Amino acid sequence: MHKKGSKRCRSVGVCLMIYLVLFIGCLNQKKENINEWKTLYEESGYTKTPNYAQTLTYCQRLAQASSKITFTTFGKSAQLRGIPLLIFDNNKQFKPQPLQKRTKPVVLIQACIHPGESDGKDAGLMLLRDIALFNNYPDMSKHCTILFIPIFNVDGHERFGRYNRINQHGPEEMGWRVTAQNIDLNRDFLKVDSPVMKAWMKLFSEWLPDLLADCHVTNGADYQYVMTYGIETNKNMSEPVQQWTQDTFLPYLKKQMELSGFPMFPYVLPKDWYDLTSGLCTYAWKPRYSTGYGTIQNRVFVLIETHMLKSYKERVTATYELLKNMIAISVRDKNELLARNRKADSITKELTGKKIDLSYRLTNDSTMVSFKGIDFYSKKSSISGDTIISYGKEKKDFTLPFFKTVQVVDSTIMPYAYIIPPQWDEVIDLLKVHGVELSFLKDSVMLSVESYRFSNPSWKDKPYEGRHCVTFDQEKITQTRTYPKGSAVVVCNQRTNQVIAHALEPKGPDSFVFWGYFNAIFERKEYAERYVLEKLAEEMMKKDGQMKKEFENKLTSDSSFANDPRARLYFFYKRSPYWDQWFNVYPVGKIMEEQPLPL
C-alpha cells in the first residue's frame, strides 16, 4: 500500500511539474506575443505615433494574424493614397448585412479626421489587437462588428512634423489638420467637397453603422478632465435614439469612465472667452460636423475630445477606455440599439406633411453644474494689447451656469417630393453620395410647386472651407413651372429624409444654397441701358396710375431710393415683362401633395 501511494504521489508530482512548466511556457509565450505586437506608440514609451506606411504595415500584420480581421482601403484621397479600413467580426462577416436582418450592431470608429489629433489611431490599433489577438474581451467581441478607420485624412496625416499642433502636448510628430486641398473634413459632412468624404459616405451608406465615434483632441480652455465628449441629446435627434442616448448610453459611459479614472464632462466653451465664471456653453450640432451629421442620419455619433494639455499617454488611455465602453454598451444593449435605430428610420420615412426643424440658437436658460477646472486669471497683455486669460497649476472646482438649451430658429414642412432640374447635376450627384434615392422624369411636366424667392444675398469677404457661403432673406412662393425631362424627383419616403431637408431647404445651416452650390442664381445676366429704361418708365406710368402713385410715395418716404438714379429706374424694370423672372428664384421645387409623375 505504501509503495503504491508513493508511486501515485510521484505521478501527481510529475503532472504538477508538467502543468507548471506548460503554464510558465504559456506565460512566457504570451509575454513574447505582447512584445511582438507592441505598437510604435507603446515601443516609444507612449510618445510617438506611426506614420501612414507604418500604420498600414501594422494593420496588415493584424489581418494576417487573425482570421477575424480583414484589412482593406475604401477609397482614395486627392493625392491618391488609399484610405485604410480594418473590419473585425468574430464570424468573419466582412460584408455589410441588410439592416432589417442585422442581429448585432455595427460600430464605426474613425481617427485622424484631424491628423494632428492622433489619439484615436493609437488607441484603436491597441483595442483591435487586444480584441482579436489576445481575446481580452470575449463577450464583447462575439456580438458586434467593428469598422476602424485609423487614418481618415490620409493626405493631411503625411504632412508629418513636430510643429503642427502648438496647443498640444505630444506625440513627438503628428499630421496636419486639413487635407491636401486645404479642406477641414469635420466641416465637410453635408457639403462633401473632398474625395475622402465621398468615399466615407459610400462606406456609411453601405454599412449604416449603429453607433459611431469620431476621435479628436481639444483646443480651448484648460481644466482637469482628460476626456470630454459631444453627444447630441437635443430634440433634433429622433426621439427613440435620443431617449436611449440620454437615459442609457450616456449614463453608462459616464459611470464606466469614472470607474476607469477618467471622469467626463461635455465638450464646452466659455460663454465669455476671457471669463470661465461667465458659464459654459454647448449647442445643437450642425450637420457639417460628424456629430450633427449622425443626428440627421438617426445615429449616435460620439465626438471624443481628449484634452490637449494632458500627456499623450493619458489621452490615448482615456480614448481606449471610452471606445471599449462604447462597444461594450452597444453589445449589452444590442437588441434595443438595433430596434431604436430601426424605429427612428421608420419615423423619418413618414415625415411628409410634418414640420422639420432646421436650425437652432442657444437660449439664456441655464443650470448650475460642478466643473473640475484650473485656477486662472485675466490680465492685459503688453504684447497684443488685449485682455488674455492665463491658467495656473492648481486644480479648482467651480460651480458654473451651463447653457445648453436651444430653441428652433428655422423649420419647414416636409413635402411629398422635391424636384430638381437636370442642369443642377452637381447637386443631384451629391444627393446620391448621401445615399438618397432619386427618380427621373421621362418626359417634361408642368407642376404647381412651392419654392423660394431670395433677397439681400450677402457673401463674406473671405472663403470658408473653399467656398463663398451666402446668407439671404427668403419668401415662400407658389408657381406653376415646367420641369424638363431628366429632372430629379426626390420622393420624401426615405430614411434619409432629414438629410434631404437639410440639403435642399435653403435655411438649413449647411444647405447646398448656403454652401454656394446655387450661387449662379444670384447673378443677373441681362441688363438695360438707362435711356431705354427712361422711356419704358414713362410708358408704364402712363398706363398704370397705381404704379405711378407707388413710385411717387417711395420717392417721398425713402430718401436713399430718391437719391439713387439706378434704383429709381430699376423700380420699373423689375415690374416690366423684360425682368428675368428666375433671378434670385430657387430652381428646386417642392411638390406638396402626392401626384402621378412620368417616372
Q: Mean pLDDT over residues 438-460, rounded?
A: 97
Residue 100 in grid coordinates: 432589417
391 or 485, which is more confident?
Answer: 485
pLDDT value of residue 206: 97
pLDDT single digits (tens) 39-56? 999 999 999 999 999 999
Q: What residues pair up with 440 in beta bridges, in sequence order?
A: 488
Cα 408 to Cα 362: distance, rounded to the nearest angstrom = 9
pLDDT value of residue 17: 60
Distance, CA of 413 to chain centre: 24
Residue-level length of the chain? 599
pLDDT value of residue 279: 93
pLDDT value of residue 322: 98
Cα 376 to Cα 562: distance, rounded to the nearest angstrom = 56
Rounded to 5°, the CA angle 467-292-588 comes to: 55
pLDDT value of residue 21: 47
pLDDT value of residue 2: 46
Residue 306 DSSP one-character state: E
For helices 530-543 and 565-573, the axis angle rounded to 10 degrees is 60
Residue 345 in grid coordinates: 428610420
pLDDT single digits (tens) 261-305? 999 999 998 888 777 888 999 989 999 999 999 999 999 999 999
Model confidence at 178: pLDDT above 70: yes
DSSP one-letter string for 217-260: E--S--BS-SEEEE---STTS-HHHHHHIIIIIHHHHHHHHHHT
Cα 111 to Cα 290: distance, rounded to the nearest angstrom = 12
**177 φ, ψ (degrees, to nearest 5):** -65, -40
Which phi-psi region, left, alpha or beta, contains residue 385 (left: φ > 0; alpha: ψ -120 to 50)?
A: left
Model confidence at 9: pLDDT above 60: no
Cα 412 to Cα 286: distance, rounded to the nearest angstrom = 16
Q: Mean pLDDT over residues 399-427, rounded?
A: 96
Task: Render the burial of 111-138: b for 16+ CB within 10 Å, e for the rest.
Answer: bbbbbbbbbbbbbbbbbbbbbbbeeeee
Q: What is the pTM of this model?
A: 0.91
pLDDT value of residue 580: 85
Q: Mean pLDDT over residues 219-242, rounded?
A: 93
Report which residue type is found at 419. I
CATH numbers and ranges of domains, the chain:
40-349 (3.40.630.10), 414-524+583-591 (no CATH), 530-573 (no CATH)
Closest CA to 262 of 310, 196, 297, 329: 310
Average pLDDT in the chain: 93
pLDDT value of residue 27: 44
Model confidence at 500: pLDDT above 70: yes
In terms of Cβ atoms closer than 10 Å to its own Cβ (0-12, 13-18, 19+), residue 475 is exposed
Model confidence at 16: pLDDT above 60: no
Model confidence at 23: pLDDT above 70: no
In terms of Cβ atoms closer than 10 Å to its own Cβ (0-12, 13-18, 19+), residue 147 is buried
Distance, CA of 592 to chain centre: 30
Non-local CB neighbours of 159 within 8 Å, separated by 6+ positions: 115, 175, 176
pLDDT single digits (tens) 516-561? 999 999 999 988 899 999 999 899 999 999 999 999 999 999 999 9
Contact 227, 257 (CB under 8 A): yes
Report which residue type is found at 449. V
Cα 123 to Cα 322: distance, rounded to the nearest angstrom = 10
| Lowest-pLDDT range of 194-198, 557-561, 574-578 | 574-578
Asked whether the bond before 171 is cis by omega within 30 degrees of 0, the reply is yes
Sheet with 106-110, strands from edge to edge, namely 69-76, 82-89, 145-149, 106-110, 211-217, 300-306, 227-230, 264-266
pLDDT single digits (tens) 83-104? 999 999 999 999 998 888 899 9
Cα 316 to Cα 41: distance, rounded to the nearest angstrom = 9
Full 3-state SS string of 11-38: HHHHHHHHHHHHHHHHHHHHHHHHHHCC
DSSP one-letter string for 335-352: HHHHHHHHHHHHHHHT-T
pLDDT value of residue 288: 98
